[in-house]
Amino acid sequence: MEKILYLAHTEADGSLGKAALETLSAALELAGQLAGGEFAVGLIGADVQAAADRIAGCGAGAFLGVNGDEFSVSRYSTDAAAAAALVREAEATLVLAPATSRFARTLPGVSQRLGGRIDTQVTGLQAANGGPWVERWYYRQRMAATLTRSQRPWFLLIAAGTFAPWDGGAGSADVKAVEVEQPPTRTRVIGIEAASSDAQTIRPDADLLLVAGAGWTKKQPDGQSHLEEAEQSILGFIEATQSSLGSSKSLVDQAGEGQRVLPFMSHLHQVGQTGATPRHRKGLATCCHGEEPHVVGWRFIGERRAINLDAGCGWAQGKADVVYVADAFEVMERVNALLKQS
């Protein structure tokens, strides 16, 4: 019989983040399929009571918590000590946790300490032949594998955006406090400096991804390039819709090649084989040719549309649901005007 531990850390305000609630859905789904096992919740934070109450109705057999100011911040030594203590207390054989940067950094080490194994960025779960199986992607999302392991504890980091956030009832949870001796620390967290919401244009939770390609900086039919208009169009749309901004490789490489650039674009925006593989419900590619090394990064984008002057561009070769053969400058100007009116 498996003993499943759902492991989460609280956010700065004591709540559970979206990725944590998604992982709770995943853990409950697997527990339901592996009927007969035990299911426990383990929480880490300054004070986990509010987070435990929020998910009190999830049907867990036990709620365990590591509380304390030193456990409220992301720091390897304290997070690893807290997670290891919770796994030991629950005698967990399967540990499901969200693939947040905090856990992605810590849990591989915890798995090593406890003699377990870990699989990261898990995108699917199922019970088969009496045991758990997971799905994850390899080779930059080109191959999907379904695999299982016999080693325990088996840690599974669940990729964000692959399960619906749990939305069950709140209540009053009886949390058992698990004491952890604070390990020696060299790192003192004195605060978090986040980019302003306008400067931060990569928004993984946004409904829509807008991709800008190198065409925005190229000479247009009038023989001129129009970088200022490009900047206004792209940023105007991103600001009005709070979409996430992506880029082709050619556009972000231009800075290094000494060409005129769009200053708000960095390599972090790059989507594709050597870039990111974001998950958004919809995507709109503008002035981007739709070559395979770029489009492979669109694997998890639900509905794809593209605006290109070239009716023979890559998007038109079966890679997009809709291709608008049009001038993206003109289309986006009109779209932004409509957005202003609404």
Ligand X SMILES: Cc1cc2nc3c(=O)[nH]c(=O)nc-3n(C[C@H](O)[C@H](O)[C@H](O)COP(=O)(O)OP(=O)(O)OC[C@H]3O[C@@H](n4cnc5c(N)ncnc54)[C@H](O)[C@@H]3O)c2cc1C
Site string for ligand X, 113-152 (x = CB under 6 A): ----------------------------------------
Least distance in angstroms from the C-beta of 293 to ligand X? 3
Contact 41, 154 (CB under 8 A): no
Contact window for ligand X (CB under 6 A) among 20-28, 161-169, 177-185, 213-221: 213-221
Rule CB under 6 A: which of 287-306 touch ligand X? Answer: 287-289, 291, 293-294, 297
- Could you tell me the smallest distance in angstroms from the CB atom of residue 251 to ligand X? 5
3-state secondary structure of 217: helix
Q: Which is nearer to ligand X, 241 or 259 (CB)?
A: 259
* DSSP secondary structure code for residue 279 in this structure: -
CA distance 304 to 285: 8
Asked whether position 315 contacts ligand X by CB under 6 A, the answer is: no
Q: How near is the Cβ of 226 to ligand X at its closest, in Å?
A: 9
Nearer to ligand X, 170 or 326 (CB): 326
Taking CB under 6 A as the criterion, the residue among 210, 251, 262, 301 binding ligand X is 251
Residue 327 interacting with ligand X (CB under 6 A):
yes
If binding is defined by CB under 6 A, does position 319 make contact with ligand X?
Answer: no
In terms of Cα–Cα distance, which of 260, 263, 303 is closest to 285? 303
Q: Confirm or reject binding of residue 250 to ligand X (CB under 6 A).
A: yes
What is the smallest separation between the CB atom of 215 and ligand X, expressed in angstroms?
2
In sequence order, the 6+-apart residues with CB closer than 8 A to the CB of 122 are: 26, 99, 134, 135, 136, 156, 157, 158, 159, 162
DSSP string, 4-64: EEEEEE--TTS---HHHHHHHHHHHHHHHHSTT-EEEEEEEES--HHHHHHTGGG--SEEE
Alpha helices in the chain (DSSP H): 18-33, 49-54, 76-90, 101-113, 227-241, 249-253, 292-295, 328-341
Measured between alpha carbons, how far is 205 from 219 in angstroms, rounded to an integer? 34
User: Which region, judged by CB under 6 A, interacts with ligand X, from 47-55, 125-133, 194-202, 267-275?
Assistant: 267-275
Interface positions with ligand X (CB under 6 A): 213-215, 218, 220, 248-251, 270-275, 287-289, 291, 293-294, 297, 307-310, 313, 327-329
